[in-house]
Amino acid sequence: MINLRRYTLIRNIVLVWLSLVLLAAFLLNIPKINILEHTARNLYFHVPMWFTMMAAVFVSAYHSFQVLRSGDIVRDIRALQAARVGAFFGVLGLVTGIVWSKFTWYVGTDVWWNFDPRQSMVSLQLLIYGAYFVLRGALDDPNKRARIAAVYNLFAATTTPFLLYVIPRQMDSLHPGAEGNPAFSEITHPIMRLVFYPAIVGFIGMFWVLYTQRVRTALIKHRVTHDPEL
């Protein structure tokens, strides 16, 4: 069901790839920007977390759609594990964002969290996915659970682009890409893109490795207990 040789190959590539990204992220010189200074390098780490979560949401929604088409429990396993690892990357994105904002937006104050629209909306998004995991816990029959959870997961996935991108961009926010604040494409120097795009690829690869590990474990559990919930 899972091609182990391919998995091992991709895992090794991802580990080497991310190590090189980490090196380049610190060793390459970047243009100086007021207030941001070296924290501009967080572009290589904080932003790919959200790209990775978005990719995970797509994977999860795709498999949920397949659950509704075929009722295949393996698709349900994949949808759940993609959502779990995706939410994990979302939490990392949120926490790294809080730390970044503390020492740029809120420097010289005691503020860590100021209900910036971007942060509020992604918190809401993570709560929506939290409800997905709770909903699953409330249902005992694996086949019924697969179908009901798939419907909810498709709803959760459709809210994601709005809460992550559309709504925060129309409100006043300190986050780049919001109203009155330049977006990535206007302010990012080419040298930073040299690291940024590989970082996105690397972290999405990391997602795939962690997700595949969990799918493998869930498949074994399904085989021995007939309940794939992990």
Partner 1 sequence: MTASELMQPAELIQEVQDASTAYDSVWAGASIPTQDLSGLEQVMLAHDKLYVVLAVVLIIWIGIVILLLRNDARLASVERIMEEQGTSFDDGL
Residues binding partner 1 (CB under 8 A): 22, 25-26, 32, 36-39, 41-42, 45-46, 49, 85, 88, 91-92, 95-96, 99-100, 103-104, 107-111, 114-117, 120, 172, 206, 210, 213-214, 217, 220-221, 224-225, 230
Tokens 């243009």 locate to 31
Of 22, 61, 52, 44, the residue nearest 153 (C-alpha): 61
Of 56, 115, 122, the residue nearest 91 (C-alpha): 122
Closest CB to partner 1 among residues 8, 158: 8
As measured in angstroms, the least distance from the Cβ of 213 to partner 1 is: 5
In angstroms, the Cα distances linking 119 to 33, 49, 160, 204 are 23, 14, 13, 22
Closest CB to partner 1 among residues 68, 142: 142
Contact (CB, 8 A) for 3 and 216: no
In angstroms, the Cα distances linking 218 to 129, 134, 153, 179 are 19, 18, 19, 44
- Alpha-carbon gap, residue 29 to 191, rounded angstroms: 8
As measured in angstroms, the least distance from the Cβ of 26 to partner 1 is: 8
Closest CB to partner 1 among residues 111, 166: 111
Rg of the chain taking only CA atoms, in angstroms: 19
Closest CB to partner 1 among residues 15, 151: 15
Of 209, 217, 203, 204, the residue nearest 7 (C-alpha): 209
As measured in angstroms, the least distance from the Cβ of 137 to partner 1 is: 15
As measured in angstroms, the least distance from the Cβ of 8 to partner 1 is: 15
Closest CB to partner 1 among residues 102, 147: 102
As measured in angstroms, the least distance from the Cβ of 154 to partner 1 is: 25
As measured in angstroms, the least distance from the Cβ of 68 to partner 1 is: 26
Query: DSSP assignment, residue 162?
Result: I
Of 221, 96, 75, the residue nearest 153 (C-alpha): 75
Closest CB to partner 1 among residues 58, 88: 88
